[in-house]
């Protein structure tokens, strides 16, 4: 994969595909992690005298210009972080975009409006996508792929544009890929993976592939209840995916066959309902009352998981251990995060909600070796899939 150093960018228009898909509350950015992660690559291009044209998506406007999905607030925040003006184009590839790019001087930065305002960006129709890609490519001389959170998408700005322009991977994509390689090839052992989050069905592929690689798999969060049920335990009103029980039983067998230690919760916080102030008690994971739902792992499980992480040399963690958005049920997630922070292992956090949990709980982000900016992308990589955006950069 070519990197930024391989491109001669001075005085040239460089289209940077970034991942600026941040959570917004009205026009207020509630977590600017992804914008901050995109800054080093943009700054490096600025310092080398490029005319930097940034493009990105926000949310799911589904091919239409919808003001609530505008990237305008993001342009403002990016400008603050870069400490220089970021010109904002009020369309993606139209008159405004062309005029904005035309006025850029060397070292200046522009941000185009939300790529997903254009139906061509996400189109499954190759010709439609390609036509949009050509218009986008027409705005620049070179392409830098740095939107790691989108590299698993076969979208125009991710997959087609790098095939039309000389290209390189940005620093963020380079760093993310280097980390993921350490999790898949010649991984230092013991290799322990902690999985949680809401749905087991989101993570079937990754579980299947990781079972061939890891020494230990710790399962918490909402998905743990489908595992407990597959072992024959009742889980009350806890999150359960009935249709995944057979698949999960297969994972339990596979783990046993391969000698992978699969560790499930031994106790849970069982609440009377899904609410921040729901009454709750610690109960055995094998004895969840019928009228209760498990919203977090219990104190013995927190200790157990910490013990199972203690000798690890490599740890990948994806998915909160409980409903961390409610303070009363954030303790399990905090315990796992703290175990990683206290560990000497190479520790990687993947998953948008997991990364958000680290920040929400006020934990130091530099306590981990790496926090991935791309949940879906890192999971698909760990599933062993080919990611379109990386394949296009490698060509």
- Residue 198 CB, shortest distance to Mg ion, in Å, is 7
What 3-state DSSP class applies to 190? coil
Task: Please identify, among the stretches 110-118, 132-140, 244-252, 316-324, the one whose residues bind ligand ADP according to the rule CB under 6 A.
Answer: 316-324
332 is catalytic: no
| Residue 388 is a binding residue for Mg ion (CB under 5 A) | no
33 touches ligand ADP by CB under 6 A: no
Q: Give the active site residue among 250, 376, 384, 385.
A: 376
Q: Give me the catalytic one of 17, 34, 51, 360.
A: 34
Residue of the chain from 198, 204, 245, 361 that contacts ligand ADP (CB under 6 A): 198
With beta carbons less than 8 A apart as the criterion, state whether 208 and 200 touch: no
Out of 162, 190, 320, 388, the residue judged to bind ligand ADP by CB under 6 A? 320
Residues 353-372 contacting Mg ion, CB under 5 A: 353
Q: Considering beta carbons, is residue 1 or 341 the nearer one to ligand ADP?
A: 341
319 binds, among Mg ion, ligand ADP, none (CB under 5 to 8 A by kind): ligand ADP
Bridge pairing between strands 346-350 and 314-318: parallel
Q: Which H helix or E strand runs over 305?
A: helix 299-309
| Residue window 267-306: x/- pattern of binding to ligand ADP, with contact defined by CB under 6 A | ---------------------------xx-----------
Number of residues in contact with ligand ADP, rule: CB under 6 A? 20
DSSP state of 3: B
- Measured at the CA of 37, the angle between CA 365 and CA 221, to 5 degrees, comes to 50
CB of 383 to Mg ion, least distance (A): 16
Task: In whole angstroms, give the CA distance from residue 229 to residue 236.
Answer: 10
| Residue 251 exposure: Cα atoms within 13 Å on the Cβ side | 31
Cβ pair 14, 142 in contact under 8 A: yes
**Binding flags for ligand ADP, 158-197, as an x/- string (CB under 6 A):** --------------------------------------xx
* 385: DSSP letter: P
Write the CA distances from 270 to 185, 284, 285, 290, 345, integer angstroms: 39, 9, 9, 10, 32
Separation of alpha carbons 108 and 272, rounded Å: 55
Nearer to Mg ion, 15 or 358 (CB): 358
Specify which residues 52 forms β-bridges with.
14, 109
- Evaluate whether 230 touches 247 at the Cβ level (below 8 Å): no
DSSP structural state of residue 160: I
Phi, psi for 259 (deg, rounded to 5): 75, 25
Whole-number minimum distance, CB 365 to ligand ADP, in Å?
15
User: Of 170 and 197, which has the nearer Cβ to ligand ADP?
Assistant: 197
Per CB under 6 A, residues contacting ligand ADP are: 196-198, 202, 221-222, 239, 294-295, 318-320, 322-323, 325, 351-354, 375
Binding footprint of Mg ion on the chain (CB under 5 A): 352-353
Give catalytic residues, as residue numbers: 34, 199, 352, 376
């Amino acid at each position: 994969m070519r990197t930024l150093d391989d491109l001669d960018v001075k005085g040239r228009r460089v289209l940077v595909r970034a991942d600026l898909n941040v959570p917004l509350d009205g026009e207020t950015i509630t977590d600017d992690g992804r914008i901050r992660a995109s800054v080093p690559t943009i700054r490096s291009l600025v310092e080398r005298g490029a005319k930097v044209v940034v493009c990105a998506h926000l949310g799911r406007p589904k091919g239409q210009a919808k003001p609530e999905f505008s990237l305008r607030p993001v342009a403002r925040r990016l400008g603050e972080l870069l400490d220089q003006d970021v010109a904002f184009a009020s369309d993606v590839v139209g008159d405004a975009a062309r005029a904005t790019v035309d006025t850029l001087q060397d070292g200046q930065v522009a941000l185009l409006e939300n790529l997903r305002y254009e139906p061509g960006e996400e189109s499954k129709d190759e010709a439609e996508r390609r036509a949009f890609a050509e218009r986008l490519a027409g705005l620049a001389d070179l392409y830098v792929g740095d939107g790691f959170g989108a590299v698993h998408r076969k979208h125009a700005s991710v997959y087609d544009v790098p095939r039309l322009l000389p290209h390189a991977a940005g620093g963020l994509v380079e760093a993310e890929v280097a980390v993921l390689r350490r999790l898949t090839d010649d991984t230092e052992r013991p290799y322990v993976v902690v999985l949680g989050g809401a749905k087991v069905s989101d993570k079937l592929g990754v579980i299947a592939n990781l079972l061939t690689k890891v020494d230990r798999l710790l399962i918490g969060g909402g998905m743990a209840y489908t595992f407990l049920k597959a072992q024959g335990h009742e889980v009350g009103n806890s999150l359960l995916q009935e249709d995944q029980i057979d698949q999960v039983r297969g994972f339990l067998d596979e783990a046993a066959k391969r000698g992978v230690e699969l560790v499930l919760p031994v106790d849970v916080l069982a609440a009377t309902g899904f609410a921040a102030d729901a009454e709750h008690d610690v109960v055995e994971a094998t004895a969840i009352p019928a009228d209760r739902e498990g919203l977090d792992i219990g104190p013995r499980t927190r200790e157990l998981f910490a013990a199972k992480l203690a000798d690890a040399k490599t740890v990948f963690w994806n998915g909160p251990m409980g409903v961390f958005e409610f303070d009363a049920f954030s303790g399990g997630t905090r315990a796992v995060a703290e175990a990683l922070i206290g560990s000497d292992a190479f520790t990687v956090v993947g998953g948008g909600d997991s990364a958000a949990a680290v920040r929400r709980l006020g934990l130091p982000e530099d306590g981990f070796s790496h926090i991935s900016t791309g949940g879906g992308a890192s999971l698909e990589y760990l599933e062993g899939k080919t990611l379109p955006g990386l394949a296009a950069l490698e060509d």
